[in-house]
Structure 1
Amino acid sequence: MQHSSFKLTSLNLNGIRSATSKGLENWLAQEAPDCICVQEVKAQAPDLAGRFDDLCGMRGYFHLADKKGYSGVAVYSRHEPSEVRIGYGSTEFDPEGRYVELRFDTPTRKRSIISAYFPSGSSGEERQQAKFRFLAEFYPHLQLLRAERDFVLCGDVNIAHQEIDLKNWKGNRKNSGFLPEERAWMTQLLGEGGLVDVYRQLEPTATDACYTWWSNRGQAYAKNVGWRLDYHLATPALAATARSVAIYKQEKFSDHAPVTVHYNFTA
C-alpha cells in the first residue's frame, strides 16, 4: 500500500459549544485535518444532535459522561472506521466519558486512533487518588492493545513528564500533574511500556514552545507560563512515520492549544 500524509490533531475543547463560539470551525476548515481527537466535550447527546454530529466534513464518534457538563471525548474523522470502541472496560471511569477508539483495520494491518482524557487531580486528594487508580488500570489496557495493534493515542494526559514540559517546574514538584508518581508512570509507559511521545521525538529539546495549557489565573497565557499536558502517544511503527508537529497558538479556542502531527500513513 502506498503511504500518504495523515494529519491528526488533538485538542482539549473545554466545552465544544465554547470552543466553536471562539472560531474553532473556521480554523478546522482551513487546516483540514484527517482526524481530530477532542476532550472535555462537556455536552450530552441532545446538545450534539443536529449541531455537532459532524464538524467540518468529519463525522463524530463520542464517549460522553453520565454527568452533565463534564468530561466527554470524541474523534472526528473523514475516514469511516471499521469498528468503534466506546470506553476501555472500566467500571469506575467509563461513566466519566474518557475513551473512544476508532479502528481502521484491513486484512493486512490493524490500526487505531484514540482520544483519551486522563483525570485531573488538581481539585483535591480524593481526585488525585482517583487519578492514580486510573493510571494503574489504564497502563495494562494500553499494553494489551499494543500487543495486538498499532495506534496513536491523542489526549489531555494531565501530566507534564519532564522539567522542560512546564515553565515553573521547581514550584510544582508537589502539585498534581507533576508529581513524582505521575512522572514515573509516564517514564515507564515510554520505556518498557513501548510507546513513543511523538512531540518529543520530533522536538526533543523544546521548552517554552512546547506548552499546550495555561492556567486562567493571572497572566499565565500572556506570559507563556504553561504546561505540556496534551500528547500524541504512539506505537513505534506509527511514531516512526511522524514528519512534523505544530502547536497552534495564534487563536485561543480553549485553555489548551491544538497539537497537530503529520504522519506518513493512510487511515
Structure 2
Amino acid sequence: MKVISLNVGGIKQAVEKGFLDWLKDQDADVVCVQDVREKTWKLGDAIERPDGWEGYFFDAEQDDYAGTGIYCRRLPKAVMTGLGFELADREGRFMQVDFEKVSIASFLMPSGSNPAEKKLFMEQYLDFLTKLRRKRREYIICGTWNIAHRTLDLANWQDNQFSIGFRPEERAWMDQVFGPLGYVDCLREVNTDADQFTYWPDAGSQRLRQEGWRLDYQVVGPNLRRAVKKAWIDSSVNFSDHAPVIVEYDL
C-alpha cells in the first residue's frame, strides 16, 4: 500500500497549479490532504471525485480555513470525522477512512499562532492518541503536525530554539508520542538523512537553499513498524509551501 500526505495550502489554489494532473499520475492507494480551505459543496465533481479517485472531506466551520480530506482509489468500509473535542472538530482537523486491515487518517495540528490554544489542543490530542493505542485496529496518521521534532528536522535550528513549532515544550510532546506511547515516525524509521524538509516559510529562495522544516509526518503504531518499507519526501512537488510525504507499506 502506498500512502501520500500533502498540505495543499488551499485546494483550489493547488488545483490551479496542477494538483489534479499530479493526482491522476500517482500510483498511490490513498492521498491525504490538509489545509483544504474550502467547503465541500463548493469543490465540484472535478475536485471531489477526479478520475480514478473518490474524495472525502471534513470542513472547518470558518470559511477559507483549515479542513482535511482523503482521496481513495477504492471505497473504504467507513468514513469518520472528528476527534470529539471542539478545538479539532470545529476546524475539520481530523478525519479517517477505514479499510479491512487499517484506518488511515488525515490530520492538521494548529500552527501555534495562538500558543495557549495549541497547548490545549496538544493535551487533548495526546489523550486521543493514548486511547487509540488500546484499540485493536491499526492506524496510519498522515498530516501536518506543525512541530519539527529534532534538530535534524530543521535548518538553522540554533536560531529557532524558541520559535513556534520548535519550542522545547512542543518537542517534548513529540518525545512522548514517539517514546512512551510507542508511535513510529515512518520517515525516520527508514530514512535518517539530513535536509529532509516538508515546509519552507519562504517557499521560493528557502526551498532552493533547503532552509526548511519537517512539519509533516506519517505516523503508525508499533505493530506496523516492520510494514514501513520505503519513505521519502518529494520536494519537487510545488503546489504549496509544503511537500508531500510518501510511504510504501507492506500490508
* TM-score, length-scaled by structure 2: 0.95
- In structure 1, runs of 5+ residues without a counterpart are 1-5
- Aligned partner of 2:167 in structure 1 is 179
User: Given residue 9 of structure 2, which amino acid in structure 1 is its aligned partner?
Assistant: N
- Aligned partner of 1:3 in structure 2 is none
**Is 1:115 equivalent to 2:106 in the alignment?**
yes
Tell me by how many angstroms 1:66 deviates.
0.5
Instruction: Tell me, in whole angstroms, the C-alpha distance in 2 between the residues paired with 1:24 and 1:184.
Output: 35
**Is 1:243 equivalent to 2:243 in the alignment?**
no
- Aligned partner of 1:154 in structure 2 is 142
Tell me by how many angstroms 1:40 deviates.
0.4
**Contact 1:55/1:76, CA 8 A, preserved across alignment:** no
Choose the corresponding residue for 1:76, options 64, 71, 74.
71
User: Given residue 30 of structure 1, which amino acid in structure 2 is its aligned partner?
Assistant: D
Tell me by how many angstroms 1:218 deviates.
7.1
- Aligned partner of 2:243 in structure 1 is 257
**Contact 1:25/1:56, CA 8 A, preserved across alignment:** no
> CA-to-partner distance for each residue in 1:130-154, whole Å, 9 max, x for gaps?
1111110001111212211210000
- Aligned partner of 1:193 in structure 2 is 181
Detail structure 1 runs of 4+ shifted over 6 Å in the superposition. Answer: none
User: Judging changes above 3 Å, is the alpha-carbon distance between structure 1 residues 185 and 21 closer, same or farther for their aligned structure 2 residues?
Assistant: same
**Is 1:231 equivalent to 2:217 in the alignment?**
yes
Choose the corresponding residue for 1:139, options 111, 126, 132.
126
- Aligned partner of 2:49 in structure 1 is 54
User: Judging changes above 3 Å, is the alpha-carbon distance between structure 1 residues 51 and 134 closer, same or farther for their aligned structure 2 residues?
Assistant: same
User: Given residue 64 of structure 1, which amino acid in structure 2 is its aligned partner?
Assistant: D
Instruction: Tell me, in whole angstroms, the C-alpha distance in 1 between the residues paired with 2:36 and 2:203.
Output: 22
Tell me by how many angstroms 1:200 deviates.
0.5
Tell me by how many angstroms 1:228 deviates.
0.3
RMSD: 1.4
- In structure 2, runs of 5+ residues without a counterpart are none
User: Judging changes above 3 Å, is the alpha-carbon distance between structure 1 residues 240 and 55 closer, same or farther for their aligned structure 2 residues?
Assistant: farther
> CA-to-partner distance for each residue in 1:123-173, whole Å, 9 max, x for gaps?
3xxx11111111100011112122112100000000000000010101111
**Is 1:202 equivalent to 2:190 in the alignment?**
yes
Tell me by how many angstroms 1:217 deviates.
7.0
1:139 is paired with a residue whose SS is helix
Tell me by how many angstroms 1:179 deviates.
0.4
**Contact 1:189/1:195, CA 8 A, preserved across alignment:** yes
**Contact 2:96/2:105, CA 8 A, preserved across alignment:** yes
Instruction: Tell me, in whole angstroms, the C-alpha distance in 1 between the residues paired with 2:131 and 2:5.
Output: 23
User: Given residue 116 of structure 1, which amino acid in structure 2 is its aligned partner?
Assistant: F
User: Judging changes above 3 Å, is the alpha-carbon distance between structure 1 residues 252 and 218 closer, same or farther for their aligned structure 2 residues?
Assistant: closer
Bigger shift: residues 236-245 or 187-196: 236-245
Percent identity, please: 38
User: Judging changes above 3 Å, is the alpha-carbon distance between structure 1 residues 193 and 56 closer, same or farther for their aligned structure 2 residues?
Assistant: farther
Instruction: Tell me, in whole angstroms, the C-alpha distance in 1 between the residues paired with 2:227 and 2:51.
Output: 26
1:96 is paired with a residue whose SS is coil
1:65 is paired with a residue whose SS is coil
* TM-score, length-scaled by structure 1: 0.90
Instruction: Tell me, in whole angstroms, the C-alpha distance in 2 between the residues paired with 1:158 and 1:92.
Output: 15
- Aligned partner of 1:26 in structure 2 is 21
User: Given residue 128 of structure 1, which amino acid in structure 2 is its aligned partner?
Assistant: P
